[in-house]
Structure formats: C-alpha cells, structure tokens
Amino acid sequence: MILLLVVVMGISSCGEQPIKDIHKAAEKRLQLGIEYMRFGYNEMAMDRLQKALELDENYADVYNALAVLYERLEQNDEAKIHYQKALVIEPQNSDIQNNYGQFLCQQGQGEEADKHFQLAIKNSLYKTLEIPYTNAGKCALRNKQFKRAEDYFQKALQANPQFTLALYHLAQLDYDNKNYVKAQDYLNRYLKNEVHTPKTLWLGVRIAQALNDSKTEANYKRLLRSAPYQDSEEAKLLERLDNDE
C-alpha cells in the first residue's frame, strides 16, 4: 500500500491523473509482460510485470501472470505465493483457480488441485468450462483415477462438443480399455476440428491395427513418417517397431 501511495503521488504531481489511469498503465505493462512470456523473453516479462505490480498492487491478473512466470522458471515457492495472493484478491476468478489447480497437480497435490478446478467450474459466468474440466481430467489421469478422468472429459464435451483435447484423451482412454470403435469415433471427431499431431497419428495407427483396418493403418504410418512428423518420438518408435517385425 505504501508503494502504491508513492506511485500515485508521483503521477498526480505530474498531471493529476485519476487512479483509473494508473490501472490502465498497469494493464498495459501486464499485456506487455504476457507478450514477452509468450515469446520466451522471461527477463523482460518479469520486468514489465513487476512494474505493473508497482503501479497497482491489488491487480490479481498481474499476480497470476507472475505465478505462471515463476512456475516456468521453476521457482515454485514464489509461484505458489503469487497464486495465493491473486486468489485473495479475486477468489471468484476462474482463470486463476484453473491455473493454480494445474500448478498443484504438477506438484503432486491432486486432491487439492481438484478443489481449485471445482471452484473454477462453479463460477456460473465462466464461459470456457471445458478448460477446467479437461485439466481436472488430465490431473486425474496423472493420478491413475481413470473413471474420474473420463467423467471430467465427458463434462468438458458437454460444455464444448468440439473441444479437441478432451476428444483426444477420451480416444486414448477408450483405446486403453479396448473400446476400439469408440476410440476411433472420438479420434474422427477430433480430426474434424484439428490437424494431426504425432500423438494422434500414433494413436490412429494402434486403433487401426486393433480394428484390422490395414488401409487406415498404412495411411497413418505414411503420415507419421513424413514432414513435419518424421523426427518425433512417435515416428522413431514406429521405426523401431517396424524393424523388429
């Protein structure tokens, strides 16, 4: 609060700018910080975000962005502190609840993470419920809670039937459960909205093999061996398996 008061006094003496202009200045630095983060300029991102915080120490989105940056820098204690500060200011902010849930899951705190995903989901004004549902599903997978994961992915699709990440994970789960026709259906739905990745091509190869669909299998293998996928771990795995046959 003292720092904010000093900043406000300094700006006011120059032009009597209202507090809302200070918030706009903080917002501008926040956006610059996020852009620098996006391109991997972490030091410049840290500088802009810290300056945003100097302007407005009660700006939850800045604490959230700093938490993400500290997490990227593997400074997990600082990340946790900044997530918690953000949530003290805006406990109803679903984006922050979702991000903190992901952080906790990465730290091996699956049940605590799930509580924060649920808090993100409970916000009736949140327009992208598929995101916390899918992240909750991924966290459940990480902890080998497969039924819980499937339920979350299904709820993600109820929120957004075209959400490709949930479709991919359901395809993978059904393949693992030997529900190959359902797995193929989810993969096909995925491909209506998204291009292949090495992971989806490799999954497609295995589903086609399980369904004895040699034509589709050959097509997936051809794609996996071609640009831009040929240097992926999945392509290397395919090469090793083919050499062993």
Mean predicted confidence (pLDDT) in 74-95: 97
pLDDT at residue number 242? 79
Q: Distance (Å, rounded) from C-alpha 90 to C-alpha 24?
A: 18
Tell me yes or no: is domain 162-245 CATH 1.20.210.10. Answer: no
Mean predicted confidence (pLDDT) in 94-103: 97
Res 17 pLDDT > 60? no
Q: Distance (Å, rounded) from C-alpha 151 to C-alpha 149?
A: 5
- What are the C-alpha distances in Å from 182 to residues 24, 156, 163, 185, 189? 50, 17, 17, 5, 11
Q: Cα angle vertex 169, ends 195, 198, to 5°? A: 40
Per-domain residue ranges of the chain = 162-245
Res 13 pLDDT > 90? no
Res 47 pLDDT > 70? yes
Bigger pLDDT: 215 or 11? 215
Res 11 pLDDT > 50? no
pLDDT at residue number 4? 23
Q: How many residues does the structure list for the chain?
A: 245
Q: What is the mean pLDDT of the chain?
A: 92
DSSP string, 137-191: HHHHHHTT-HHHHHHHHHHHHHH-TT-HHHHHHHHHHHHHTT-HHHHHHHHHHHH
Q: Distance (Å, rounded) from C-alpha 164 to C-alpha 187?
A: 9
Percentage of the chain exceeding pLDDT 70: 92
Res 203 pLDDT > 90? yes
Confidence tier at 140 by pLDDT (50, 70, 90): very high
